[in-house]
Amino acid sequence: MEILLDLVIKSAFALGVMLTIVPNLVWMERKVSARIQRRVGPNRMGPAGLLQTAMDGIKLLFKEQFRPDGADRWIYLAAPIITFLPGLIAFGLIPMGVFVAADGTATPIVVANVDLAIIVIFAISSIASYGVAYAGWSSGNQYAMLGGIRACAQLVSYEIVLGLAVVATVMMTGSFNLVDIVHDQTGWLAGASFLPAWNIFLQPLTFVLFLIAGFAETNRAPFDLAEAEQELVGGYHTEYSGIRFGWFMFGEYAALWTMCSMIVAIFLGGWTLPGVTLPVGIWGALLGVGIHSAKVILLIFFFMWVRWTMPRVRWDQLMGLGWNKLIPLGVANIFLTILIIEWFFPGSGTKAALLK
């Protein structure tokens, strides 16, 4: 009973955190795009326009809700929720810090510390493809249907790239647990004491593959073909309005935070910094969460920067990049990782020999 109560409290806290993060990401997107385009952005509602997103949320709640006559009622209503939930659930599996007790016991700050966390996150995230496909099909709109097909094909294709990229990292670390992967990135590289032992330096090709696939999985430009207004009016959510459209937008930004959190945990050392030892107690936990969040925000800024500076690619270019280039590179990267481990570190499945 205590375990269940603890899980419920953690889940409620994670939900509250995500409901706070997403509106601020929308505000951040508006301000970043405004600066890149030499505009001002939101600056009327609240200090620096911080309340603009809240006002937009209230507006969405009171906007007219309609359902097309040819829509499948229950699937049409369920699709936004199916799209939103995976990003929220996956967020609860990503550690954001660690609480070190006075006796030296370290407790990761995560809703559920799962040994197969990466596999579980991928399994949950794949459900989002059903949401967008259902949204497009159930609307009874041909443009929305095409957007749903595009989104589903894109998500399925680039999930393969994500999986291949993670395999190489797991082989070096020897664990699917994100907490173990973060701990494995502490310290400095042997022979290069100016570089932290982050996986981005040990496996740069893996990082690039994961990053590109992350753009496609979160449906961010230049890979936002499922919502291409020039061809599809608005894509799979063309027939959605008000708060139902808001759920799709909420799910997109929740997935963005979750994806960037995964990249930080797997490749950028999570809540750790080389040469920095977290103090004992609550202040150390807050410092760790702050370090993790700062890395995530910087990475999200990069995602936004790319969105507002690069043009959208064509559909055939998107699929060709995934199947003809990234997937073969992912397979080759796995074999390269195997050769490095067996030739240079025989009998060792970890990167301990690479650390000082």
Cα dihedral across residues 180, 110, 249, 235: positive or negative: positive
Residue matched to tokens 């700050």: 109
Q: Rounded mean pLDDT of the chain?
A: 87
**Residues 162 and 210 sit within 8 Å (Cβ to Cβ):** yes
> What is the DSSP code string of 196-215?
E--HHHH-HHHHHHHHHHHH
SS3 342: helix
Please tell me the predicted confidence (pLDDT) of residue 346: 62
Residue 351 — pLDDT band, cuts 50, 70, 90? low
Question: How far is the C-alpha of 113 from the C-alpha of 1, rounded, in Å?
Answer: 18
Please tell me the predicted confidence (pLDDT) of residue 278: 85
Question: How far is the C-alpha of 202 from the C-alpha of 172, rounded, in Å?
Answer: 9
* C-beta neighbour count of 36 within 10 angstroms: 13
Structure confidence by residue, pLDDT tens digits, 2-26:
667 777 777 787 888 888 898 899 9
Q: Considering the entire predicted model, what is its pTM?
A: 0.92
Structure confidence by residue, pLDDT tens digits, 253-272:
999 999 999 999 999 999 99
Structure confidence by residue, pLDDT tens digits, 59-69:
888 888 888 88
- 188 beta partners: 196
Average pLDDT for 36-57: 89
Residue 213 — pLDDT band, cuts 50, 70, 90? very high
Please tell me the predicted confidence (pLDDT) of residue 130: 85
Structure confidence by residue, pLDDT tens digits, 22-36:
889 999 999 999 999
Structure confidence by residue, pLDDT tens digits, 155-204:
889 999 999 999 999 988 888 999 999 998 988 876 666 788 899 998 99
- 100 beta partners: 106
> What is the DSSP code string of 289-343?
HHHHHHHHHHHHHHHHHHHTTSPPPPHHHHHHIIIIIIHHHHHHHHHHHHHHHHH
- Sorted by sequence, the CB contacts under 8 Å of residue 97 that are 6+ apart come out as 108, 109, 271, 285, 286, 287, 288, 289, 291, 292
Any idea what DSSP says for residue 190? T
Any idea what DSSP says for residue 322? I
Residue matched to tokens 């937009």: 56
Tell which phi-psi region holds residue 141, choosing left (phi > 0), alpha (psi between -120 and 50) or beta. Answer: beta
